[in-house]
Structure 1
Amino acid sequence: MIKHILVSDPTLRDGSHAVAHQITAQQIALYAEAADKAGVPIVEVGHGNGLGASSMQVGLSLEDDVTMLETARKYLAKSKLGIHVIPGFATIKRDLTRAIDIGVDVIRIASHCTEADITQRHLGFVRERGKEAYGVLMMSHMASAAILVEEAQKMELYGAEGIIIMDSAGAYLPSDVVEKITALVDGLKVPVGFHAHNNLGMATANSIAAIESGAKILDGTARGFGAGAGNAQLEVLVAVLERMGFFTGIDLYKMLDASDIADKMVIPTIPVIKSESIISGLSGVFSGFAKHVTRISKEYNVDQRDVYRELGKRKVVGGQEDIIIEVVMDLVRNKK
C-alpha cells in the first residue's frame, strides 16, 4: 500500500524570518515557479508571522501581502498557494477576504498551543468560503500531550481539516515527537502534521519520528531556510521519504533544482546551528526571535545566550518581541 505524505513548503514564509522579512517579489516568482515544476503540493507565502503581520513590533515586510500573494499566484499552476494566519495580526474582513479573493487555496489558522479558542471565527470563515482550512498549534513544546489534544479537538470542532503542531523553538527530541503526535493521532479524526525547527539538529529526525507515529503532513523548506537554525530541509526530507517508501508527489531532481535556485537567488546565508541557536532550543524560545535578540544584544553588549535563558524562564512567545529589550535592560542593570 502506498503511504502518502502531504508536504507543505513555507520557504517563502518561514524563510522570511531569516532575512528580516525582506524577500522580494522577484525572489517569490523565481522560487514559486521552481517549486511548482517540482510538484510541491503547497507553497506557503508571506510575512514570517503570517498574513497581516508586517509591523514595527515583529518586523516590516519589504513587499505587502497583496504583492506577495499576487506574485506567487501567477507562478503556481499545479501547486496550491498557502498562507499562515494568526488571529490578531490578520483580520477576517480585510486580510482574509482579500487573500481568498486573490486566489489562496490553503489557509492555516494558528494560535499559541493553549489558545485555540481564538481560531474559531477564522476557521469558520475559511470553511464558509470553501477553502482548505488547517489548525496550527505553535510553540507546542510548552503544553503537555493531553493539553495539545484538548486544544486540537477545539480546532477540529471549529472546522479544521487537519492539525499541525509546530516545534517553533526547535526544542523537541524524537521521543517528545512520538509522545505528542501519537496522542494527537489517537485523539483526532482529522490528519495530524508536524513543523520542525533545527536548533538542536533534530529537524529531519523529528519529522521522521512524526510520520512513524502517524502524522500525514510534514513541513520543510529549501536548504532549511527559516527562523533561527532553520527548518527541516525539504530536499532531504523528500529523499528520505522516498527511500522509506512514502509518496509525496514531489520530483526529487526538480526539488533539488528548486533548492539550488533558492540557494543562489533567495537565501543570502544558509541556516546553520550556532551556539545561540542551541541555547534558544534548550530554552524553548521562539526561533523567530533570533534576529531581534542578536541585534539588541550587540547594541547593549549582552551575551545572547543569557538573553535566551531569561526569555525561556519568562515563557515569552511570538508577538512579545518587546520583552526582549526589557530582558536585555534587566541584564545590563544586573551587570552593574
Structure 2
Amino acid sequence: MNILINDSTLRDGQHAVKHQLTVAQLRDYATAVDKTGVAIVEVGHGNGLGASSYQVGRAALSDETMLTTVRESLRNSKMGVFMLPGWGVIADLSKALSCGAEVVRIGTHCTEATLAERHLGWLRERGAEAHAVLMMSHMATPVQLAAQAELLVGYGAQAVGIMDSAGNLLPQDVTARIAAMRLQVDVPLIFHAHNNLGMAVANSVAAAEAGATVIDGCACGFGAGAGNTQLEVLIPVLARLEFDTGIDLYQFLDAAELVARELMVTPPMIDSMGIVSGLAGVFSGFKNPVLNHAGTAGIDPRDVFFELGRRQVVAGQEDIIVEVVAQMKRASM
C-alpha cells in the first residue's frame, strides 16, 4: 500500500520555537526535504493561517513571506497549508492560494465539522485540493468521528482524518477510529500524532494498518509539546512493514540532521509536562503558555494541565489558562 507523507516540520515545528523560524531556515529545510520524495510540505504559523497573534504567539514572519519562501524552494513536493476557522478566514485562504498553496487542510474540533462547510465549499469552487481534519480526536468516539467525517466529505473534503492533538491515544484507540471512518467514507484518510505518551510512531503505524493513507510527521519529531511523529523513524518502520512512502531514506536523514542542527533550540522530549498534557488530554501547544503563566504565579503547572483537561479546553481557548492559574493562586492564599 502507498502512504503519502505530509511533513509538518515547518508548521507544527513552529510551536517548538514560538513561531520564530526565519526565511533562511524555511528555505534551507524546504530545499532539503524537496529532494526526499515527501508528498506534501506544510508551512505556516503553528496554529495555521491567520493565527499569528498575542494570544497564541506572534510569528517572526507573515503568512505570505513563509508561503512564498517555501513555494520558491519546492520543485517536487506539494506545498500545504493548515487553517482553523476563526483564526483564519476566507481572505487568508485566498492569499494562500495566490502564494502557491496546493493542498489546503481545514481543521475543526472533533465534533464541530459544520464549521468547515463554508471554507471547504469555497476551496472546491476554486478547484483547490481540500482536506479536513478533526482535532482532539480522543474527545469523540469512533462512531462520532465517522459521522463527522461523512459531513466533511459532503462539504467537499477530498481527504479527511483525525489529529491526536493531545497525544492521548493508544494504538487500539487509533485503530478503532480509523476503521470506523474507513467504513463511513470513501476518500483518503489522514492521521496526525503527537508523542506525549511515546506512542506517535506506534499510533501512526496503527493508522496505516487500519486504512489511513496520509500520515503526518516532522523531522526529528520537531513539533508542539513532546513533539510529533518522528519521520526519520516512521519512514523505515513503514518500509519494513511493506508500505511504500516513495521517500529516499538517506536524503530524509540528511534533512533531519539539518533540522537538528539549524532549526531546533532543544530537541523535543517527553518531559513531565508532555506526559501530563497527554494524560489530561490537553492540546500539546498549551505547554509553553501553561509554563509561563503557572511559573509567574508560583502554581504547579501539572495541576493546571489536569484542570484544563477537566474543563475539556481546546486550541483557541488559551485565555482559560490565565483564568485557571488565577483561580488556583487565589485558592492557595
Q: Could you tell me how far apart the structure 1 residues matched to 2:162 and 2:85 are?
A: 17
- Output the aligned Cα RMSD: 0.7
Q: What letter corresponds to residue 307 of structure 1 in structure 2?
A: V
State the distance in 2 between where 1:39 and 1:209 align: 22
Aligned to 2:54: 56
Amino acid paired to 2:154: L
Matched, 1:172 2:175: no
Q: Superposed, which structure 2 residues align to 1:21-36 within 5 Å?
A: 21-36=19-34
> What amino acid does structure 1 have at the position aligned with 2:30?
A
SS in 2 for 1:17: helix
Deviation at 1:122, TM superposition (A): 0.8
1:306 aligned onto 2:299: no
Aligned with 1:194: secondary structure?
Answer: strand
CA offset at residue 25 of structure 1?
1.1
What aligned pairs does 1:119-138 form with structure 2 within 5 A after superposition?
A: 119-138=116-135
Tell me how far apart the structure 2 counterparts of residues 193 and 123 of structure 1 sit (CA, whole Å): 16
The CA deviation at 1:149 is: 1.0
1:17 pairs, out of 15, 33, 52, with 15
Q: Note if contact 2:52-2:59 (Cα within 8 Å) is conserved in structure 1.
A: yes
1:330 and 1:163 map into 2 onto residues whose CA distance is: 39
Structure 1 position 297, deviation (Å): 1.1
Distance apart, 1:252 and its partner CA: 0.4
Q: In structure 1, what is the Cα distance between the partners aligned to 2:12 and 2:161?
A: 15
Deviation at 1:117, TM superposition (A): 0.5
* TM-fit CA distance, 1:327: 0.5
- Work out the number of aligned pairs and report it: 333
Q: Which one of 271, 280, 284 corresponds to residue 283 of structure 1?
A: 280
Deviation by residue 1:231-250 (Cα, 9 ceiling, x = unmatched): 00011111111111111111
CA contact 2:196–2:274 (8 Å) conserved in 1: yes
Aligned to 2:143: 146
Alpha-carbon distance in structure 2 between the residues aligned to 1:257 and 1:128: 39
Q: Do the aligned partners of 2:4 and 2:38 also contact (CA within 8 Å) in 1?
A: no
Query: % of aligned pairs identical?
Result: 55
What TM-score, normalized by structure 1, do the two folds share?
0.98
C-alpha distance in 1, partners of 2:60/2:200? 28
Match of 2:74 among 67, 76, 82: 76
- Corresponding residue of 1:239: 236
Identify unmatched segments of 5+ residues in structure 2.
Answer: none
What is the CA deviation profile of residues 183-236 of structure 1, one whole-angstrom value per residue up to 9, with x for unaligned ones?
011111111111000000000000011111111110010000000100000111
Shift of 1:319: 0.3
Report the CA distance between 1:98 and its aligned residue: 1.1
Segments ≥4 residues shifted beyond 4 Å: none
| Aligned-partner Cα distance in 1 for 2:221–2:239 | 18
**Hey, what's the Cα distance between the residues in 2 that align with 1:103 and 1:191?**
23
Aligned counterpart for 2:253 among listed residues 251, 256, 259: 256
Pair 1:320 & 2:317 matched: yes
Secondary structure, aligned partner of 1:69 = helix
The structural deviation recorded for 1:127 is: 1.3
2:222 aligns with 225
Kindly state the Cα deviation for residue 90 of structure 1 after the two structures are TM-superposed.
1.3
Given residue 201 of structure 1, which amino acid in structure 2 is its aligned partner?
A: G
**SS of equivalent residue, structure 2 residue 316:** coil
Please give the alpha-carbon distance, in whole angstroms, between the structure 2 residues aligned to 1:214 and 1:73. 30
Give the structure 1 partner of residue 6 of structure 2: 8
Give the residue type in structure 1 aligned to 2:177.
K
Instruction: Select the residue among 326, 330, 334 that pairs with 2:327.
Output: 330
Structure 1: tracts of 5 or more residues without a match: none
Partner SS for 2:34: helix
What secondary structure does 1:249 align onto? coil
Q: Which residue of 2 aligns with 1:86?
A: 84
> 2-side partners of 1:291 and 1:249: how far apart?
35
